[in-house]
Structure 1
Amino acid sequence: MPPSKPIRVGFIGLSTSGWAADALAPSLISLKNDYDLVALSTSSEASAAVSAAKYSADVGHPITAYSGDTSKIANDPQHRPRRGLGQDPMHKQLLTPVIEAKKDFFIEWPAGRNLQETQEFAELARKNGVRSIVGLQGRSSRVVAKLKEIIASGNIGAVRSTSIIATLPQEGEFWPPLVHEGMAYTIVESNGATLLSIPIGHILDNFAQIMGDFASVNATSTLFHKTATIIDVKTRQPTGKTLPMTHPDHISVSGVLKSGAFASLFWRSGYKMTPGRRRFLWEIDGDEGSIRVESDHMLGPMMSMFDPAIYVNGEKVEYVEEGTVGGSMHNVTEAWKAFVSGEEGKYPTIDDAVKNHKLLAGIRKSLDEGRVVRFE
């Protein structure tokens, strides 16, 4: 049941630009009857003051600003019922005090830097009796719902195989050869912000919702762009600094699903957005027909953010009502709604993040050991 009063929220890592500012905060603030943003925390006192001024105007009342150690905002008594949000690449350092303060939390995917860290969050959440929601907002997308509906209808018969080709172009400046300075942490594999963990992790979560789980995976990879040229955030020009790339920019995963269907998935990054280069193509083939999902948006492979086109047996399927908000704003808003209503299974939790990380860990094991990895 929804709470009788709006959930009072403290938001860690809320600046005036970026993903949190563009999608997470606006969607949260739009649900005024369900959530009330009352505090925020950033890395510095100056940035916290700027952010607090902006969002105080947005919500119509003063927001308390914190900076530095997240135990300060975690223990703020004005969060009642006890709720907290954590969103930052340094998740363990930032989130642990929130859970220990027994406050429910949101955490952006990939949650922990790896499976072990994500499992630690899940165990700590159970120990402290708190609820969680994870930024795998693609689960709320219209495209996931529509693809499940089409397959369940039997229109294409039993699914026998599926394939994905996805490209993250260099103009995105997330991974080499060009990386803007605010994203330089993505170059170091141990930071947990790799091609595998973020875009592939997102789509594999959506993939599992639609196609079911993998029974086995066999993965290969290579690295073409071994050096990253760092780009100035404001001028978009090279800073003169370069850094070594530490993880693959091409990853191929094949395997058999528990349904018996065969899957072949290929991701690549670093290519220019030249005319005709496909950004995202997903085909699902059944005995009686096929589904094609495609997008030429720069970040088209991110179905959690953008609504691709769907074709069934060559005919386009309209599934986003004209004039309605789609993409990331729709997906995040629906996830917030499901959380406040307590609709278990309707929003992703830290336990769902653990499950997704287990698949990624299996893929990494296959890459490291050069063999097929099977799942129970």
Structure 2
Amino acid sequence: MSQPIKVGFIGLSTTGWAASALAPSLLQPSLQGKYNLVAVSTTSEGSAKASAEKYSTQTGHAVTAHHGDSSLISSNPNVELVAVSVKAPMHKQVVLPVIEKKRDFFIEWPAGRNLKETIEIAEAAHRQGVKSFVGLQARNSPVIQKVKELISSGAIGSVRSTTFVGLIPRETHFWPPVITPEYVFALDKANGVTALNIAGGHQLDALTYLLGDFSTINATATTIYPTATVLDANGQVTSRTISTSIPDQHSISGVLKSGALATISTSGRKLLLWEIDGEEGSIRMESNSSVFINLNNPTLYLNGERVEVEGSSSETVGILGSAWAAYADGKKGQYATIDDAVKNHRLLDAIDRSLAEGKTIVL
């Protein structure tokens, strides 16, 4: 039996996304023997010490604290894989020193603010010969895996079209019309965390994972909420507002390399409705809880009949844990790499060019 992969985790504090989702998925009992958290790194000495104490207690062994420059945890001889969970504008500057130290790495999507940065990260990874793992975990949903199985088995015949309708409800407060203070940076498109980049990126990866790549793509968009109201630290509405011109509603269509037609819409009130139609039948996925397939399992129907999917009751931790397991087991194609992130960014870049130029983009 192979030894557990020794993980150093950048951005793992005692609270926040990494603490509430990524770390629990990595440390869940089903992954014992596959990973060993040995070090953490945060921006300050105090937060790093608190995090190290928390996870030393949780894991039952000493976890080393680092803070500041990412090269420090990457130089730890006990670290084999560095996980990076920081804000997107910091991705490139944090992960490049990790790669230069020839450490394999996990990095959250979008793996850079834009296509250029993601390509730089990918080129560095290839140059140093390190393995990569990117947080595009929708493909690890047991429902998505079941759909892939159904399509491959010919259950619906040749796929002719797919329609995806998704919505990020305003109540999440990630994007306008109401946002939390820590998400103000998302209002600057240059930071790479628009709703299209984040939610759209996860959706597009799942779509192309199941149905193959696009050959052409066309997009239209509008800005329904030109102003964002900022909440205070307690979640109460303030008088502070910020103007934004970032489109928040999109209609995207294109032809897949298979010849199938794909349509994606981010409007309406349906959180998630995804239909895949073939010559012999249809698949439908629905969710009333979230548009993020990487965090929640939609309900699956085949020709109108509900399909029970093993493991679908386990939501965020289960899906993220499946991605960690796929990487540890070396199941290439079942976890996303930095090359998948580049491909995803090329598609998002084509959507932006279509919006700017008002025409169909040939990929």
Does the CA contact (< 8 Å) of 1:170 and 1:176 recur in 2? Answer: yes
Cα distance between partner residues in 1 of 2:296 and 2:154: 26
Deviations, residues 25-45 of structure 1 (Å, cap 9, x unaligned): 112123231211111111222
Deviation of the 1:10 alpha carbon: 0.9
Which residue identity lines up with residue 319 of structure 1 in the other structure?
V
**Which residue does 2:7 correspond to in 1?**
9
**Which residue does 2:142 correspond to in 1?**
142
Deviation of the 1:9 alpha carbon: 1.2
Cα distance between partner residues in 2 of 1:150 and 1:368: 38
TM-score, normalised by the number of residues in structure 1: 0.91
Residues 1-376 of structure 1: matches in 2 within 5 Å? 4-30=2-28, 31-79=31-79, 82-89=80-87, 90-233=90-233, 235-268=234-267, 277-297=269-289, 300-321=290-311, 326-375=314-363
Deviations, residues 115-164 of structure 1 (Å, cap 9, x unaligned): 11011111101111111100011121111111122223333332222111
Deviations, residues 45-89 of structure 1 (Å, cap 9, x unaligned): 22222222211111112222222222221212332xx32111112
Cα distance between partner residues in 2 of 1:39 and 1:140: 26
Does the CA contact (< 8 Å) of 2:295 and 2:320 recur in 1? Answer: no
Cα distance between partner residues in 2 of 1:144 and 1:252: 23
Which residue identity lines up with residue 318 of structure 1 in the other structure?
E
Cα distance between partner residues in 2 of 1:153 and 1:128: 39
TM-score, normalised by the number of residues in structure 2: 0.94
Residue identity over aligned pairs, in percent, reads: 50
Cα distance between partner residues in 1 of 2:121 and 2:56: 31
Deviations, residues 319-362 of structure 1 (Å, cap 9, x unaligned): 135xx752222222122122222222222111111111111111
Stretch deviating more after TM superposition (24-33 or 193-202): 24-33
The secondary structure found in structure 1 opposite 2:36 is strand
Stretch deviating more after TM superposition (151-160 or 254-263): 151-160
Cα distance between partner residues in 2 of 1:249 and 1:48: 36
Stretch deviating more after TM superposition (162-171 or 235-244): 235-244
Cα distance between partner residues in 2 of 1:310 and 1:343: 24
- Structure 1 consecutive aligned stretches of length 4 or more whose deviation exceeds 4 Å: none
Cα distance between partner residues in 2 of 1:155 and 1:60: 47
Stretch deviating more after TM superposition (148-157 or 192-201): 148-157
Cα distance between partner residues in 1 of 2:153 and 2:327: 29
The secondary structure found in structure 2 opposite 1:219 is strand
**Which residue does 1:274 correspond to in 2?**
none
Stretch deviating more after TM superposition (259-268 or 163-172): 259-268
Deviations, residues 249-280 of structure 1 (Å, cap 9, x unaligned): 00110111111111111114xx8xxxxx3211
Which residue identity lines up with residue 265 of structure 1 in the other structure?
I
The secondary structure found in structure 2 opposite 1:168 is coil
